[in-house]
Structure 1
């Protein structure tokens, strides 16, 4: 999770990176402002089924398809952050229908009064929706249909409607801030931009996959250590030969005979 948080801050978080790092123990997922698409979000949702808080704000590559997969796999999702850019706001608007649970054939005026067992699909565990740019009409409509879900809660010493607002539902605090709070920002701060190679060109080293970066690092290290390994091998061989020669007279005679044989062979 630390690697994912640092990668997000360095603008390096994409589908390949997040899928390679995802772990089933994760309860939060902050991919805001990243290049992650529906594919990456769907695969992470399959792996991290215990997610309780997710932030996809400013992710222009995520649509309702990715959010649907998130809701389908993560039944413990309580906090959802979205919006922040035109395309993400559009996705958020279309996702409101996904957050409304679909009902079986039951009697009753509102799904708010139903047990979870009577609700099929939908985000039955969702309680906090953070969408700063939601328009008033949409907010009023959604709040009327889904009073269980609180939109853009405000921090208050008395809580919200008798319920304490969790830190994950406060937009001013990044979900992954606690993960990197003990890490010096100078070690992950990114300055400038990474040039993206054209499709017909070779990939820039900064755009290589994590696996390829590890492979290249291993090859470079192996190349640097090769002379030292060869030297150590020669020293080990000479030491073994000296020890062998001093073991007994017969071993010494055999060694001298082999040396003489090599000398004669070289002269011929």
Structure 2
């Protein structure tokens, strides 16, 4: 056997590494996240940056990410901001981007409380933004269409007789660093407008071993990979499961989804009904046993004699 095939066999039978202690602790905190929300603003200051962003990712998957939660956890060192599918509003987003101005990738898709006002705050404060993900729901699609013009460069009305006299900041308004836009349901007119007026932005890049036109596509620009996926890779998925239900797999396209199958719903309903009726069944069984004993005593002379003798022996004083 060649060395190559030997190494392949070794890798196949290699035991998975145990989770890190920090990951186990974060999993426990994540399961009881509701219990610390009220005091999160007071205790989050003791958490390192990587712990804060992990808790934010867990809260998002558990549908607990709100303005108060993200504002309490935000850290200036964050380079990604994933609030997709959350209840974060324009106010929460504006407060967050004022703190973490180094964000290079943001996901605001499926956020029904974010409007073009929030998008404007994001673009204005995060000048290093390279990846933007939006759309995905009717409200978010509307916000994306209304905010599209913010991504395009435009020239302000300035005083000056020649282009050489203009400052760079006066020309490059919009999102100067944006290179990747993930908008799965982009309409034809918006796509043509972006291609014509903002060719530097690549819309919905497809995964390929050769990249996109020779450019390596960052993982955050791929539709089927959650932006904060790497943050929770070592966390047990049961942390954000519902009713103790453990998903059979962790598809990257469905991380954070807590929808149960119909079969699982029937199973849980049957278990709930069975546990609810268990005390009644036990009571009926005891009543049935007492009736059977009573009937046996009434029909058997020998049994009555044994019961009377037992009672008499109990009433006699012990020497």
What pairs with 1:60-71 in structure 2 (closer than 5 Å)? 60-71=112-123
What pairs with 1:51-200 in structure 2 (closer than 5 Å)? 51-104=103-156, 107=163, 117=169, 119-191=171-243
- Are 1:57 and 1:83, in contact at CA under 8 Å, matched by a contact in 2? yes
Secondary structure of the 2:106 match is strand
**Length-normalised TM-score, structure 1:** 0.66
Q: Report the Cα distance in structure 2 between the residues aligned to 1:118 and 1:38, rounded to whole angstroms.
A: 26
How many Å apart are 1:102 and its aligned residue? Answer: 2.3
Q: Report the Cα distance in structure 2 between the residues aligned to 1:115 and 1:52, rounded to whole angstroms.
A: 24
Q: Report the Cα distance in structure 1 between the residues aligned to 2:149 and 2:182, rounded to whole angstroms.
A: 16
Q: Partner of 1:2 in structure 2?
A: 54
- Are 2:129 and 2:178, in contact at CA under 8 Å, matched by a contact in 1? yes
Q: Report the Cα distance in structure 1 between the residues aligned to 2:140 and 2:62, rounded to whole angstroms.
A: 21
Q: Report the Cα distance in structure 2 between the residues aligned to 1:124 and 1:68, rounded to whole angstroms.
A: 13
Q: Report the Cα distance in structure 2 between the residues aligned to 1:190 and 1:36, rounded to whole angstroms.
A: 21
How many Å apart are 1:191 and its aligned residue? Answer: 4.1
Q: Partner of 1:264 in structure 2?
A: none
Pick one of 12, 18, 22 that aligns with 2:70: 18
How many Å apart are 1:67 and its aligned residue? Answer: 0.6
Q: Which runs of 5+ in 2 are unaligned?
A: 1-52, 245-319
How many Å apart are 1:188 and its aligned residue? Answer: 3.0
Change (3 A) 1:161 1:107: farther
Secondary structure of the 1:50 match is coil
Q: Report the Cα distance in structure 2 between the residues aligned to 1:116 and 1:166, rounded to whole angstroms.
A: 27
Q: Partner of 1:30 in structure 2?
A: 82
Higher helix share: 2
Change (3 A) 1:78 1:115: farther
Q: Report the Cα distance in structure 1 between the residues aligned to 2:163 and 2:191, rounded to whole angstroms.
A: 27
Secondary structure of the 1:165 match is coil
Task: Say whether residues 1:48 and 2:100 are aligned partners.
Answer: yes
Which stretches of structure 1, 4 residues or longer, exceed 6 Å deviation after superposition? none
How many Å apart are 1:140 and its aligned residue? Answer: 1.2
- Residues 107-164 of structure 1 show CA distances to partners (whole Å, capped at 9, x for unaligned) of 59xxxxx995453431000000000000122211211110000111111122112211
Aligned residues: 187
Q: Report the Cα distance in structure 2 between the residues aligned to 1:50 and 1:64, rounded to whole angstroms.
A: 21
Q: Which runs of 5+ in 1 are unaligned?
A: 109-113, 193-268
